[in-house]
Amino acid sequence: MGFGRKILPFQAYETAQPLSSPQSQLDPGTHGKILLSLLLPRQSRLRGEIEEALDMDFLQQQAERGDLDVTYLSKYILNMMVLLCAPVRDEAVQRLESIADPVRLLRGIFRVLGQMKMDMVNYTIQSLQPQLQEHSIQFERAEFQERLNKEPDLLNHTTKWLTQAAADLTTPSDTLDSSSTPGPSPGDIAASEPLSSAMVLSQGFLNLLIWDPENEEFPETLLMDRTRLQELELQRKQLTILASVLLVASSFSGSILFGSPQFVDKLKRITKPEETMQNVSEQVTQEIHQSLKSMGLAPLTSDNTESLIGQFQNIAKKENCVRSVIGERAHTWAVWMLEGGAPAVGVDQRIHLFLKCCLVLGVQRSLLDLPGGLTFIEAELAELGQKFVSLTHHNQQVFGPYYTEILKPLISPDQTDMTHTSAKGRSFTWHLS
């Protein structure tokens, strides 16, 4: 057929044209190469079949004679694609079967084959991930051990960090400022059950999120992650502001407005970290006023507007009652989640202890029972929690053996297995190498 006469010699494609060139998109030989790259090593029979059906020398001879059956080749390639593609590509392959024009069809085949090739790359990476992860853990630990052999004092700061975390969990509540902690202290919680390695590590990791920048005794095992931890702490502070703004806004606008996800998302977009609280307060107040008015509800009075703006601006202050309440609730809530309860306490500490709950229960389970004030930022909390858990989990896998040795003198021998058992009998085990 005429289309066959227009096909260049296959060697020309290989030496002169990249795979993304228009000519290569029309070349069945190129399609065959991609199909072969999608095969697993064990699929030798299918490999032989494709190599025979798409034999480059034979196809070139047919092209030179002008009797290359493009329709047959396209159908064969499509059948192979149906066999080899991931389920997510089924619909795309089916759409190709309805294309009658041979040029459009071959280009479409090339495009979908490219997507299938990326699917195979992703699958290969995913299948190798456990081995790569294990190799990374062993490599990092070996590198650290080599340094430790040369510097015997290399774990001094790490030891001090974990010792302080253990002390935080055993400090009686009457030594703490009750005004800053409107719920049980970590010491109160620890008193109800034996101190465990998991509890100390959780407290230690949380302490890193409020680390004094002037304190140079940062644990050696986490120096590589210090920048990421600082980014997580900044994200936590931003979520504290956001949740506080939404909590105050909901008290003035009621459930009707906040029952709309679109309205809440709009307030989130307004409450940007780079914006001053003055600008945020004015924009949020205006949005609430206009939304109430557009829905035929009573708009904000001048007194309400003034009060609302004032409360928003006060959120920027660390000692602000709403911000403190939300924060304290995060901490107390997470501790009580471990104990099986859920008291109503107040955004900064709520988020702080939500993260602790993530360390013990996992992110998804921690999201099932969010306290009031945090439900509006569930998606943002899930992202923060996942980042924090991933960072700490990898760190524990690498340095778990060192932590176990450091913690032996600090806790009872039967609690050094990195397992935490709550007062309700639930057991949570850190998966350390």
Which pair of structure tokens corresponds to residue 88? Answer: 């997510």
- For residues 309-320, give the mean pLDDT: 75
Bridge partner residues of 419 (DSSP): 429
Q: Rounded CA gap, 244 and 145, in Å?
A: 45
> Are the C-beta atoms of 212 and 433 separated by less than 8 Å?
no
3-class state of residue 419 by DSSP: strand
Q: What are the CA-CA distances from residue 176 to residues 168, 173, 209, 256 (Å)?
A: 10, 5, 20, 41
DSSP class of 1: -
pLDDT of residue 418: 52
pLDDT of residue 4: 34
Q: Rounded CA gap, 85 and 89, in Å?
A: 6
> Are the C-beta atoms of 326 and 346 separated by less than 8 Å?
yes
Q: Rounded CA gap, 423 and 414, in Å?
A: 16
Output helix, strand, coil percentages for the chain, rounded to the nearest 5. Answer: 70, 0, 25
Q: How many residues does the chain have?
A: 433
pLDDT of residue 28: 65
Place of tokens 């202890």: 353
> Are the C-beta atoms of 169 and 191 separated by less than 8 Å?
no
Cα-flanking dihedrals φ and ψ of residue 428, to 5°?
Answer: -130, 125
Which pair of structure tokens corresponds to residue 366? Answer: 């921690």
> Are the C-beta atoms of 396 and 385 separated by less than 8 Å?
no
Higher pLDDT among residues 70 and 200, named by residue:
200
Determine which of 163-172, 367-376, 392-401 has the lowest per-residue pLDDT on average: 367-376
Is the pLDDT at 433 greater than 80? The verdict is: no
pLDDT of residue 319: 58
> Are the C-beta atoms of 308 and 300 separated by less than 8 Å?
yes
Burial class (CB in 10 A: 0-12, 13-18, 19+), 126: exposed
Q: What are the CA-CA distances from residue 417 to residues 145, 161, 414 (Å)?
A: 21, 19, 7
pLDDT of residue 375: 86
- For residues 333-342, give the mean pLDDT: 38
Higher pLDDT among residues 165 and 8, named by residue:
165
pLDDT of residue 232: 94
pLDDT of residue 63: 75
Q: What are the CA-CA distances from residue 414 to residues 104, 338, 407, 409 (Å)?
A: 69, 20, 12, 12
Which pair of structure tokens corresponds to residue 107? Answer: 């280009």
- For residues 288-304, give the mean pLDDT: 86
Which pair of structure tokens corresponds to residue 305? Answer: 């507007």
Instruction: State the average pLDDT for the chain.
Output: 77
- What's the pTM? 0.66
Is the pLDDT at 139 greater than 90? The verdict is: yes
Cα-flanking dihedrals φ and ψ of residue 427, to 5°?
Answer: -115, 135
76 contacts: CB under 8 Å, gap ≥ 6: 53, 54
